[in-house]
Amino acid sequence: MSDDKKMNKITLVPVGGLANRMRAVAGAFNLAAQTGGALRVIWFRDWALRCPFGDLFRPMKYPNLTVKEANAIDLLTFGRPRLRNGFVPRLFQNCLFDKAIYEREMDSLIRDGFDFASWAKNANVYMATYLPFGTLDDKLYRLLFKPVESIEEVVENRRRSFSDYNVGIHIRRTDNLRSIEHSPIELFCEKMDEEIELHAGVKFYLASDSEKDKQWLMERYGDRIVSSSKEAARNSIGGMKDAVADLYTLASTQKIYGSFGSSFSEMAAQLGGQPLRILKK
C-alpha cells in the first residue's frame, strides 16, 4: 500500500433528495474531523435531485473538504453499483479504495452501533448513503450549508410577509407513501385552527409538493398563508432552488408541523433550532 493510500480519505456520494444529502454530508464531515482525514463529496444529479450543488449552496470553505460535480467518467468510477450500470463501478472502487459502504448497508450498521471512526481511520474509503450517522450537532448543518445569495434574497422576501408569530407547515406528498398515509391534511388543519385560537395574529408558512393541498389551505386560511407561488418540482434547477428557499423559510418560523417520514421537515427544524411536531394519525 502506498503512502498516499495510507492517508485517511473519505469519498462520499450523498444519495436521495435535498435533506437526505445534507444529512449524509454532515455525517461524513464529522467522520473526517474525528479521524483527521480529508473529505471529498461527489455530487451526482439524478431523478431525486437534478441540480448542481453550487446552484444551491455557497462553497464550503473548510480545509480538507471538497465538493465535486460528477461528470461522465465519475459515473463509472464513483457511481453506486447497481443493476442499471451492470455493477461496473464496483470494479473500479475495488481498486481505488480500501473499503466501501453502500446505502443498502447503512441502516443495519447504524442500528448495530457500527464504529465508523475505526473503520475509516488510516484508510481510503468510499461511502454512499442518504442517512445521518454518528453524533451530529444541529449547528453543523447551519455551519456547512449556506444558500447562495439569490436564494437568501427569496427567503428574505417571503419573511417580509411574516407576522410577530409564525408557524411552519410542511406537507409532504408525491412519492412519499408514508407521509400520504400517516399525515393527512385534516391533522394540519386541526393544529392550524388551534394556533389561531391561541395566537390571533399567527401566520403560516406553507411548504408542500402538493399543489392541490396548497390551494385548498390557501382558500381556507386566506392571507394567513405565506407560500411560494411556484409549483414544486425537484426535476429542475429552478424547482430545487425554490425547495431550498422553502427549507430555509420554514427554518425561520417559531414552530414547525411536519409530515411523517419526511427528512425535509426534520431538516427545517434542525436548521432553525426550533420545535418540530410530526403529525401522525
Going residue by residue through the chain, which has 281 residues, state the pLDDT in tens, using 9 for 90 and above.
Answer: 444 445 689 999 999 999 999 999 999 999 999 999 999 999 999 988 999 999 999 999 999 999 999 999 999 999 999 999 999 999 999 999 999 999 999 999 999 999 999 999 999 999 999 999 999 999 999 999 999 999 999 999 999 999 999 999 999 987 777 788 889 999 999 999 999 999 999 999 999 998 999 999 999 999 999 999 887 776 789 999 999 999 999 999 999 999 998 999 999 999 999 999 999 98
Report the distance separating Cα 45 and Cα 41, nearest Å: 13
Do residues 238 and 218 touch, judged by C-beta distance below 8 A? no
CA distances from 214 to 125, 169, 259 (A): 44, 10, 14
- CB within 8 A of 193, min separation 6: which ones? none
Domains, the chain: 3-140 (3.40.50), 147-279 (3.40.50.11350)
User: pTM for the complete prediction?
Assistant: 0.92
As a whole number of angstroms, the distance between CA 5 and CA 128 comes to: 20
